[in-house]
Structure 1
Amino acid sequence: MLAKRIIPCLDVKDGRVVKGVNFVNLRDAGDPVELAALYDREGADEIVFLDISASVEGRQTMVEVVRQTAGEIAIPFTVGGGIKHVDDMKTILRAGADKIGINTAAVLNPSLIKEGALRFGSQCIVLAVDAKWNDEFGEWEVYTHGGRKPTGIRTLEWVKQAEKLGAGELLLTSMDADGTKNGFDIRLTSAVSDAVGIPVIASGGAGKEDDFEEVFTAGKADAGLAATIFHYKEIAIPHLKQHLKAKGVEIR
């Protein structure tokens, strides 16, 4: 069994890290380069940057942030947000990112997953999935555009298709749990983990150390991602790793 990973997530807007609850009410959480370097020193296994600046100016700012960060950290990092073409992937990878996260563009054009995987390798392509429970479906529905737009697509069908197209990893965010600190969405995470053979990063809802143990065991996730609890020093990564090791979870 692969060792589980702890991944801080930095939502970057106009060159600053921000954080909200259920995808809204954003507040400033610091400088992305400084935070990434801090998490590297603290023992994070990877970093995820999500660019939530929609404009062209936001993209240019993000490329510079990626370049600066690559010079400060030694751990892998994934960059997503607003990446629509293979050329966008190339720009971000050349700036120093190790993996590319795609979401909305992949839903609108699934062949982007295949194109990216053929060009840069499946290990480079992380499909980000924002999922919300839909009573009518009796399952989770995929949302795009930063969680604003329901697609009518069932999550389990989409992740299976993405794996076949060449996605190397899934970044699975529960919109129902996001920012609540009530724990990861175990039902969603375990259902997706059972549906695919590629690693699943669980995101949304982490509030305490035991939440990570639960998502790694009951949720079958390969990695646990969080933002608020790390940014505001509610949980320190070294303490979290010690806690998980004491509970028998194989951790890096």
Structure 2
Amino acid sequence: MTTGRHVRIIARLDIKGPNLIKGVHLEGLRVVGDPNEHAVRYYEEGADELLFIDIVASLYQRNNLSDIIKRAADRVYVPITVGGGIRSLADVATMMMSGADKVAINTAAIARPELIGEVAKRYGSQCMVVGIEAKRVSRDGGWEAYTDNGRERTGRDVVEWVKEAVDRGAGEVLLTSVDMEGTRKGFDLQLAHDVCDAVNVPVTISGGFGKAEDLAAVAATGVSAIAVADALHWKRMSMAEIKRHAAAAGLDVR
């Protein structure tokens, strides 16, 4: 039995300089290895998409990923989303020419929300992914959007900001729970549910995947995709194993 909802399983690769890295709560980074070697392995294991995030790009106001993306695009044949330090249409053009299919924009979209509409108009809404870094502000729910890899407060309510971003033309949401990221304690189900309820575009949840049971739990919230990093990077599960667990849980996976 399947849920009828197709759920994509995405490999998330956070990049700092030339290295694939992994942290907890987006901090305490450890080097995992060469991003391209891992990207190709995850593609060969069956990843539906690859997500590359330059985690220090906004801090230094630049994105260093174009060479990494070019190398990956030569060897993988699934959609590639790129995020981190994308501040203008020129930056988007660079990423698209490097081989990206979509761009995830967070910091620059908060700073100048008009950018969302500009990207959607030029490249289509399906290319414009709004990146959300959410931190819970109360036990009962309520999340604040953060920028700069979870460092900077914005004062923006996550659900209200997601609605505005989609109204402005974002065709997809990349939702990262900073609280759960890297903890292996499961996804923030209430966050996923509230964001999926608020908008009618695909939502990718990121942050917290630890065990097979987490897949069925989060799929029930309405997400369209699940991003996985820690389990893949440290070889706790292969992409093929994750998909087998997802299928066993009743999810419709490729």
> TM-score with structure 1 length normalisation?
0.95
Separation (CA, whole Å) in 1 of partners of 2:32 and 2:92: 26
Say if 2:136 and 2:179, in contact at 8 Å, map to a contact too. Answer: yes
1:1-252 equivalent positions in 2, closer than 5 A: 1-54=4-57, 55=60, 59=63, 61-135=64-138, 139-217=142-220, 219-252=221-254
Gaps of 5+ in 2: none
For residue 52 of structure 2, give the secondary structure of its aligned residue in structure 1: strand
Letter of the structure 2 residue corresponding to residue 231 of structure 1? H
CA distance in 2, matches of 1:4, 1:157: 25
* Ranges of 4+ aligned residues in structure 1 off by more than 6 Å: none
TM-score (norm 2): 0.94
Shift of 1:247: 2.1
Cα separation, partners in 2 of 1:136 and 1:249, compared to 1, 3 Å: closer
Distance 1:172 1:138 in 2: 15
Deviation at 1:176, TM superposition (A): 1.2
Q: Distance in 1 between matches of 2:186 and 2:172?
A: 22
Q: Distance in 2 between matches of 1:165 and 1:220?
A: 22
| Amino acid paired to 1:20 | G
8 Å Cα contact 1:52/1:81 also seen in 2: yes
Q: Identify the structure with bigger relative contact order (alpha carbons < 8 Å, sequence gap 6+).
A: 2
Contact 2:215–2:249 (CA under 8 A) maintained in structure 1: no
Count of residues in Structure 1 that have an aligned counterpart in Structure 2: 249
Gapped regions of structure 1 (runs ≥ 5): none
Structure 2 counterpart SS, 1:132: strand
Percent identity over paired residues:
44
SS class of match (1:250)? coil
Does structure 1 retain, via aligned residues, the 8 Å contact 2:13–2:21? yes
In the aligned structure 2, how far is the partner of 1:52 from the partner of 1:184? 21
* SS at 1:126 equivalent: strand
Say which SS state the counterpart of residue 37 (structure 1) adopts.
helix
- Amino acid paired to 1:190: H
The letter of the residue matching 1:251 is V
